[in-house]
Amino acid sequence: MTKTLLRGRVLSFRSEPAGPDDADAYLYIEDGALLVADGLIEGVGEFPTVAAQAPDAVLIDHRPHLLMPGFIDTHIHFPQVQVIASWGAQLLDWLNTYTFPEETRFADPDHARAMACAFYDQLTAHGTTTALAFCSVHRSSADAFFEEAERRNMAMIGGKVMMDRNAPEALLDTAQTGYDDSKALIDAWHGKGRARYAITPRFAITSTPEQLDMAGALVAEYPDCFVQTHLSENRDEIAFTKSLYPKARDYLDVYQNHGLLGPRTFLGHSIHLEPREIDALAETGAHPAFCPTSNLYLGSGLFDDAGLRDRGISNSIATDVGAGTSYSMLQTLNEAYKILQLQGQILHPLRAFHWITRGNAAALGMQDRIGTLEVGTDADIVVLDSRATGAMALRMERAETLAEELFVLQIMGDDRSIAETYVAGVAQSNVSQIRAPENA
Ligand code: GUN
Ligand code: ZN
């Protein structure tokens, strides 16, 4: 079997950096290499040492670029690839005007398959190798999502949304069909290869209490599945939720009452939280998913990262395309930096790059497989070019430290900085070129 030797500057995190000077938190090798075989990282270290491990390996020289673990996006909507950049509304209008109509198109399996292909092309072009994603209400959309991920050997997590009210008829399931279809998808996909299932009640507004009961029953039956939904994104959404669930103590209580909270639960946005909700997040180990470009775009509000972290809550970070305005986790960090600035908080570059790799992996409980370059883990790797644009190259002339370089990528980087993405050891630039005509 052919082995591949990737040469470049290697950067991988061991733990969350406590501050800009915490060099113990990461491995950085100036002339480094990764030995990749059979989809796994078989060696990591100084180039001469790793090269000697496999003299016959095919060498790919990525110098002077950085080799990092592929990025992880913990909240994204697969059926919204053609919704991104839809103009002029806040959450509920945006959903009704643009998003719901677009998602009805995913009833057509051919459309879903074509969009799944386009979706993964975008993810890998932006350096993302794993995502936790919402599909549409249609079971076939989730099949398309998982089939295409399987073809590319990507570690993807997703689920069909359960929604049985407050949306167009064509997008509604029922408490029973939502349960049955989710169960069938779990049986078909959860744990198949690199796929994992996420039980996905869209949000409290689009589910009846009966449907949330059924979602809770699935969580009880399949405790190793993920759960994903939305929480406290927008003031009108919160008011509407409270009117639909008048007995709930607060928004989060709706999910808590139905057995949906635990360490495998991801709650998109989690912006306007009450003290009791923060207590409940800390107690249950559920993860807020911070979606900076989306929160600015829809005017939703400012996520209080430090406030939640101080309570021991582990926040993940995500794009939320199509309300999010970029697939790039680098651009996501850029906007995150600014949202935290507005609140007197700081996102230093080492913590930022830990967050989109090992940090998100740890929130998912997958840090032993992804978000790291340790030997024995999956060879999902991104190759980063800090001088991808003229403006970046100019700035980089004055950058002296690794942290400064990372900050240039964090603020100015996007897909142009992704020189290559490897999924389970396979370079995706080639995969897309081969597949594109077939699927056009
Ligand atoms: N809340 C319920 N559905 C959605 C969605 O598709 N996008 C966002 N941003 N919020 C939601
Ligand atoms: Zn969302």
pLDDT tens for the chain, 440 residues: list them: 799 999 999 999 999 999 888 999 999 999 999 999 999 999 999 999 999 999 999 999 999 999 999 999 999 999 999 999 999 889 999 999 999 999 999 999 999 999 999 999 999 999 999 999 999 999 999 999 999 999 999 999 999 999 999 999 999 999 999 999 999 999 999 999 999 999 999 999 999 999 999 999 999 999 999 999 999 999 999 999 999 999 999 999 999 999 999 999 999 999 999 999 999 999 999 999 999 999 999 999 999 999 999 999 999 999 999 999 999 999 999 999 999 999 999 999 999 999 999 999 999 999 999 999 999 999 999 999 999 999 999 999 999 999 999 999 999 999 999 999 999 999 999 775 445 444 44
**Shared domain check, 219 and 168:** yes
How many domains does the structure of the chain reveal?
2
**Shared domain check, 61 and 111:** no
Which ligand 1 atom is at minimum distance from the Cα of 230? 1
Take residue 54 and report the two structure tokens written for it. Answer: 């496999």
At 257, which helix (H) or strand (E)? helix 251-257
> Looking at this predicted complex, what is its ipTM?
0.99
Take residue 267 and report the two structure tokens written for it. Answer: 């709650």
Cβ contacts of 428 within 8 Å, gap of 6 or more: 124, 125, 152, 420, 421, 422
Helix axes 209-221, 175-189, angle to 10 degrees: 20
**Shared domain check, 53 and 139:** no
- Residue 432 has a pLDDT of 58
**Shared domain check, 344 and 284:** yes
Take residue 13 and report the two structure tokens written for it. Answer: 């995190």
The protein residue with its alpha carbon nearest to ligand 1, atom 11, reads 230
Do β-strands 4-13 and 26-37 pair in parallel, antiparallel, or remain unpaired?
A: antiparallel
CA of 160 to the centre of ligand 1 (A): 14
**Shared domain check, 359 and 323:** yes
- The residue whose two tokens read 């003290």 is 275
Do β-strands 128-134 and 71-77 pair in parallel, antiparallel, or remain unpaired?
A: parallel
Take residue 148 and report the two structure tokens written for it. Answer: 């295409």
Residue 60 near residue 6 (C-beta atoms within 8 A)? yes
Q: Give the number of whichever ligand sits closest to the CA of residue 289.
A: 2
CATH number of 316's domain: 3.20.20.140
- Residue 325 has a pLDDT of 98
332, 363, 394 - which closes a domain = 363
CA of 110 to the centre of ligand 2 (A): 24
Do β-strands 381-384 and 58-69 pair in parallel, antiparallel, or remain unpaired?
A: antiparallel
Q: How far apart are CA 152 and CA 143, in angstroms?
A: 14
Domain assignment of residue 409, given as a range: 4-70+372-439
CA of 296 to the centre of ligand 2 (A): 13
Q: Give the number of whichever ligand sits closest to the CA of residue 237.
A: 1
Amino acid at 426: V
**Shared domain check, 229 and 87:** yes
Q: Give the number of whichever ligand sits closest to the CA of residue 161.
A: 1
CA of 274 to the centre of ligand 1 (A): 20
**Shared domain check, 65 and 78:** no
3-state secondary structure (DSSP) of residue 230: strand
Take residue 315 and report the two structure tokens written for it. Answer: 């926040």
**Shared domain check, 285 and 424:** no
In short, whether 321's Cβ falls inside 6 Å of ligand 1 is: no
Q: Give the number of whichever ligand sits closest to the CA of residue 296.
A: 1
CATH number of 47's domain: 2.30.40.10
C-alpha closest to that of 329 among 420, 419, 415, 425 = 415
In short, whether 99's Cβ falls inside 6 Å of ligand 1 is: yes
The protein residue with its alpha carbon nearest to ligand 1, atom 9, reads 323
Helix %, strand %, coil % of the chain (to 5): 45, 20, 35
Tell me which of 74, 171, 205, 233 to substitute to probe ligand 1's pocket, judged by most ligand atoms within 8 Å of the beta carbon: 233
**Shared domain check, 178 and 128:** yes
Tell me which of 76, 93, 132, 202 to substitute to probe ligand 1's pocket, judged by most ligand atoms within 8 Å of the beta carbon: 202
φ, ψ of residue 248 to 5 degrees: the values are -70, 140
**Shared domain check, 103 and 34:** no
CA of 437 to the centre of ligand 2 (A): 30
**Shared domain check, 234 and 174:** yes
* Residue 257 to residues 124, 212, 222, 243, 254, Cα–Cα distance (Å): 38, 9, 18, 16, 5
Which ligand 1 atom is at minimum distance from the Cα of 294? 9
In short, whether 75's Cβ falls inside 6 Å of ligand 1 is: no
**Shared domain check, 159 and 284:** yes
Take residue 326 and report the two structure tokens written for it. Answer: 């970029």
Judge if pTM exceeds 0.90: yes
363, 381, 399 - which closes a domain = 363
- Residue 230 has a pLDDT of 98
- Residue 21 has a pLDDT of 85
Which ligand 1 atom is at minimum distance from the Cα of 298? 9
The protein residue with its alpha carbon nearest to ligand 1, atom 7, reads 323
363, 387, 412 - which closes a domain = 363
The strand order across the sheet containing 426-427 reads: 40-46, 26-37, 4-13, 58-69, 381-384, 418-423, 426-427
Which ligand 1 atom is at minimum distance from the Cα of 80? 6
Take residue 434 and report the two structure tokens written for it. Answer: 């081969």
Do β-strands 157-159 and 161-162 pair in parallel, antiparallel, or remain unpaired?
A: unpaired
Omega prior to 193 cis, within 30 of 0:
no
Reported residue count of the chain is 440
3-state secondary structure (DSSP) of residue 191: coil
Take residue 328 and report the two structure tokens written for it. Answer: 């790039």
Do β-strands 418-423 and 128-134 pair in parallel, antiparallel, or remain unpaired?
A: unpaired
CA of 354 to the centre of ligand 2 (A): 23
In short, whether 237's Cβ falls inside 6 Å of ligand 1 is: no
HSE-CB at 190 with a 13 A cutoff on CA atoms is 19
In short, whether 251's Cβ falls inside 6 Å of ligand 1 is: no
In short, whether 202's Cβ falls inside 6 Å of ligand 1 is: yes
Residue 271 near residue 301 (C-beta atoms within 8 A)? yes
